[in-house]
Amino acid sequence: EPIVTVLDDAAAVAAAVAEHVSRAVRQKPTLTLGLATGNTFRDVYNELIARFKAGEFSLAEAKAFNLDEYVGLPHGHPGSFEAYMQHHLFEHVDFAPGNARLPDVSAGDIAAACAAYEQAIVAAGGIDLQLLGIGRNGHIGFNEPGSPFDSRTREVPLTESTRTANAVDFPPGEMPPPMSVTMGIGTILEAREIVLAATGAHKAEALQQAFHAPISTDCPASALQRHGKVYIYRDRASLGA
């Protein structure tokens, strides 16, 4: 059973997730984090940066692997998750150079780069704490509905609904690319601990399917029911009507 904390609003969720991460880093300064992007995590990273600046913890010995990245964007494109991570976290904290990475989507051989990413995670000792958001169709990372629960880091197409939802992070008139690289559901399930953050009424249905319905590949996040250590931080709005 996941450990669920329901908070008043998105700000309280962000603070609680940041506190969870801060505590984990203080306990294990060498920990390996799995990092997520999206709107929900903008607020989480702001809270985390505030705690870092207050001297609560250092990430100098920590490592991080992001869940996913678009394929085919020019380097430095503002819609890329690399740009997101730079702006919203990396340039404000003290990860050592090279210790915070995203899937390498610029490689000529993407499949080989995906295998190398998996190997790098293993070499880092595996992911201690994986942060996750949830898409409105129940996706985790970019594992869209139908993704096998034993999937690994790989190139996958995005659904129209995900591209439309994420278009807000792109310049006006520009859509996110049709392809991405994401850690697999199998990769995610190997993390020792998982923290999922979700806020807003538009996440109610996905959360319902993920945690209060039978496990199904129709809802990728329902795979988390198979993991023994999942913490969910959600706001009241995400409980739905």
The catalytic position among 43, 47, 68, 235 is 68
Nearer to ligand GLP, 103 or 133 (CB): 133
Nearer to ligand GLP, 56 or 200 (CB): 200
Q: Give the contacts of 139 (CB within 8 A, at least 6 positions apart).
A: 145, 147, 159, 162, 220, 221
Task: Give ∠ CA 114-79-189 in degrees, rounded to 5.
Answer: 40
> 234 near 13, Cβ under 8 Å?
yes
Nearer to ligand GLP, 61 or 193 (CB): 193
Task: Give the three-class secondary structure for 129.
Answer: strand
For residue 205, indicate whether it is catalytic: no
Nearer to ligand GLP, 24 or 35 (CB): 35
The catalytic position among 47, 82, 118, 137 is 137
Task: Give ∠ CA 88-22-90 in degrees, rounded to 5.
Answer: 25
For residue 137, indicate whether it is catalytic: yes
How many angstroms separate the CA atoms of 34 and 231, rounded? 14
Nearer to ligand GLP, 103 or 135 (CB): 135
> 46 near 17, Cβ under 8 Å?
no
CB burial string 182-192: b at 16+ within 10 A, e below: bbbbbbbbbbe
For residue 99, indicate whether it is catalytic: no
How many angstroms separate the CA atoms of 46 and 37, rounded? 13
**How many CA atoms, within 13 angstroms, populate the side-chain half-sphere of residue 130?**
26
Output the smallest distance, CB 143 to ligand GLP, in A. Answer: 9
User: In the complex, which residues of this chain contact ligand GLP (CB under 6 A)?
Assistant: 36-40, 67-68, 133-135, 141-142, 162, 166
Here the tokens at position 103 are 């899937």
The catalytic position among 69, 118, 144, 169 is 144
Output the smallest distance, CB 169 to ligand GLP, in A. Answer: 8
Here the tokens at position 193 are 């601990």
For residue 235, indicate whether it is catalytic: no
Among all residues, which ones are annotated catalytic?
68, 137, 139, 144
